[in-house]
Chains A and B, each alone.
Chain A
């Protein structure tokens, strides 16, 4: 059956494309020393993960990943970068011993993970059931079996919104005085 083989080949090629993008950008986040470049690499990683979700028949999750992560969280992080660095190219170098210790620890951990994955007890893997799923079942599960976590998550988002706004608010005592006095003058000089 040539059609099935074709679909398999396409899946394989797409997986390697997205996996290369994700892994390369993840390593780029580690290697890059410029915080703006790190943010761009993170964007590629998040997009690649969204592509992997598509390959895993999780279309809704892929859309959520693109909208919330790539569109929301990453923009938030970039705002943080802009607000907290005097020059966006400022850099802090780690010390060499730190690099050696951290890298060797990570390599050992990664090798251990791969060994564990390859030699894991193989269960009989069922063939991937069904391609695609109705989005209604997702919504029903979210408002049925997972109703309590769903509502707790919404309360959490409210709490986080209020808390973050309170934390990020500039204190009255921190406010520079000249900002308050200069603004009206400037307005007058324009008129």
Chain B
């Protein structure tokens, strides 16, 4: 049986990325768009950790950690981004009584 290599993880992350992109493009619910962003960030995280595990041998005989630390920072940024985005959506909902992003047209010329 073929053992699992870097390519498997990269293809899976590519599928997650495309799903997130498609979610962002197709959903009109602002919170759905936020979910697509989370999917894309997770795909990037899988890539980081997989490259860390397979491609980088580390120094002094110890396994590398840099990719995992990058991934931790990405998780922190994603949490912060979700909090701010939800606050903005709540404000939007209070002003427009809907969460449909097509209705956010105040700045349209």
- Which A positions have Cβ atoms within 8 angstroms of B? 8-9, 11-12, 15, 19, 22-23, 26-27, 29-30, 35, 38-39, 42, 45-46, 49, 52-53, 55-58, 60-61, 64-65, 68-69, 72-73, 76-77, 79-81, 83-85, 91-94, 98-99, 102-103, 105-107, 109-110, 113-114, 117-118, 123, 125-126, 128-130, 133, 137-138, 141-142, 146, 149, 153, 156-157, 160-161, 163-165, 167-168, 170, 174
Contacts and interface: CB of A to CB of B under 8 A. Distances in A.
B80 A160 contact: yes
Contacts of A29: 19, 23, 35-36, 39
Q: Taking chain B's interface residues, is the majority helix, strand, or loop, or is none over half, making it mixed?
A: helix
A26 B69 contact: no
B16 A22 contact: yes
Contacts of B32: 35, 38
A12 B3 contact: yes
Contacts of A42: 35, 38-39
Interface string B38-54: 11001001100110111
11 contacts: A12-B4, A38-B35, A61-B68, A69-B78, A84-B31, A91-B29, A113-B17, A128-B54, A160-B83, A164-B84, A165-B87
Interface residues of B, number: 77
A19 B81 CA distance: 26
A81 B76 CA distance: 22
Given A8-B3, A170-B94, A49 B46 contact: yes
B15 interface: yes
Interface in B77-92: 77-80, 82-84, 86-91
Contact of A106 (B4, B21, B69): B21
Interface of B: 1-12, 14-23, 25-32, 34-36, 38-39, 42, 45-46, 49-50, 52-55, 57-58, 61-66, 68-69, 71-73, 75-80, 82-84, 86-91, 93-94, 99-100, 102
A87 to B, nearest CB: 12
